[in-house]
Amino acid sequence: MGVRIMRVTCVVSAFLLLVFAAALPVAGQSARLLVPHTSWTCGMPDGIPAPEGAPLVFEAHLTLAAIHNLGTTPYGARQVAVVQDGTFSGPRVSGTVAAGALDLQLTLSNGVVELEQIFVLQTADRKYIYLRAAGTGANAGDVRIVPDFEAPASSDFAWLNTGRYVARRVIDTSARTMTLRVYDVSEVTPPTAATNVTRIEKPAGMPAQPWDYRTAAPGEMPGSQLIVETVTLSPSQPVGVSKRGNRNIIPITGGDLTGRFAGKVLFGGADYQNLSAPATIDARYLWQADNGDIILVRNAGPIGSLVPTFEVRTDSPYAWLNTGRFLSANPAVKPGGVGITMYESTR
């Protein structure tokens, strides 16, 4: 019996080591400079250095409300993790992570990973910080994330607005947790020799996922009604004036859909609006159609000229949302949230 227990313990220990190792950068590979593809530069087009050894800005421990696997969309295999809550701490900043943060991961057919994260942090003294990050890796073993912070310009955390940062994140899908470590790489000297550089290559003909939202073309007009949604919201999270204007975030908590198809608005995401003139909306969130398909939604643009775009699996009955052109009315205030009507676009 003792021998059997020892064998089982060894097998379990070996398995846990393999899981842990799979979440870490491959030895040797992580020391190389990672040059992103031109379609997804992550704000560091000349290369993302490995952050290990650089000063730690903070470490975040997050609980996930859900991990949605959308399937294969026009851009790759899409997974969306939604944060329930979390905390972060570091030498100069600490606090909580607001509910509804999004982690949007693409895995391409050749193993390349592209990542976008949208978080709201609240510091210990109750200041809000907007964090939007882009990441990439030649494979899942070495994904590097470049965070971009918008902290209140008048706060003690304004230094976050000007640094150079690289992060690592590990998701445990079974436990529904995420760990995010952000490093300050401002003083890191990246390797320059060709033998120390990895360049991201994407499959031929693969369309690039957008970083910016679509804007309406001249002459576009609302046509047939597409969807009427009622969206429930949490109270605003005002960042205030920062490096890109007056940022205000309104979290999305749920809602329902009627129109060309029925469904619901899922918990997660927000309207990451900028109140500086001209005021713009940038709402990122998820729908679930009645058949269970998850649809990634972005409804954005200047007030009075909102353009929704959608991402859903290519074999979905709603795949036509991927290629259609649509327009949106401004949000109308309703109890607990807003009502929004979306239309097919005509010219």
Phi-psi region of 239 (alpha: psi -120 to 50; beta: other; left: phi over 0): alpha
As a whole number of angstroms, the distance between CA 308 and CA 228 comes to 13
Identify whether residues 252 and 136 lie together within a single domain.
Answer: no
Identify whether residues 192 and 54 lie together within a single domain.
Answer: yes
Contacts (Cβ under 8 Å, ≥6 apart) of 136: 34, 36, 37, 40, 42, 48, 112, 113, 114, 115, 143, 144, 200
Which of 146, 164, 199 finishes a domain? 199
Asked whether residue 260 carries a pLDDT value surpassing 60, the answer given is: yes
> Is residue 311 assigned to a domain?
yes
Q: How many domains does the chain have?
A: 2
247 bridge partner residues: 240, 274
* Domain limits for position 52: 28-199
Identify whether residues 88 and 178 lie together within a single domain.
Answer: yes
> pLDDT for 4-41, tens place per residue?
433 434 433 433 333 333 444 544 455 799 999 999 99
Q: What global pTM score does this model have?
A: 0.90
State the DSSP H helix or E strand holding residue 85, giving kind and residue range, or none if neither: strand 76-89
As a whole number of angstroms, the distance between CA 312 and CA 315 comes to 9
Q: Three-state DSSP class for 30? A: helix
Identify whether residues 169 and 234 lie together within a single domain.
Answer: no
> pLDDT for 154-170, tens place per residue?
999 999 999 999 999 99
DSSP 58-72: EEEEEEEEEEEEEEE
What single-letter amino acid sits at 333? Answer: V
Identify whether residues 164 and 32 lie together within a single domain.
Answer: yes
Confirm if 247 and 119 have CB atoms less than 8 A apart. Answer: no
> For the domain that residue 321 is a member of, what is the CATH number?
2.40.160.20
Contacts (Cβ under 8 Å, ≥6 apart) of 273: 247, 248, 249, 250, 279, 280, 281, 282
> Is residue 315 assigned to a domain?
yes
> pLDDT for 121-159, tens place per residue?
999 999 999 999 999 999 999 999 999 999 999 999 999
Asked whether residue 64 carries a pLDDT value surpassing 70, the answer given is: yes
Which of 199, 229, 259 finishes a domain? 199
Q: Three-state DSSP class for 249? A: strand
Identify whether residues 109 and 37 lie together within a single domain.
Answer: yes
> pLDDT for 183-230, tens place per residue?
999 999 888 777 899 999 999 999 999 999 999 999 999 999 999 999
The predicted model gives 250-266 an average pLDDT of 98
Identify whether residues 259 and 289 lie together within a single domain.
Answer: yes
Identify whether residues 78 and 135 lie together within a single domain.
Answer: yes
Contacts (Cβ under 8 Å, ≥6 apart) of 247: 130, 150, 238, 239, 240, 272, 273, 274, 275
Asked whether residue 243 carries a pLDDT value surpassing 50, the answer given is: yes
| Total residue length of the chain | 347
- Residue 224 vs residues 259, 264, 327, 328: alpha-carbon distances, Å: 10, 21, 10, 11
Identify whether residues 137 and 243 lie together within a single domain.
Answer: no
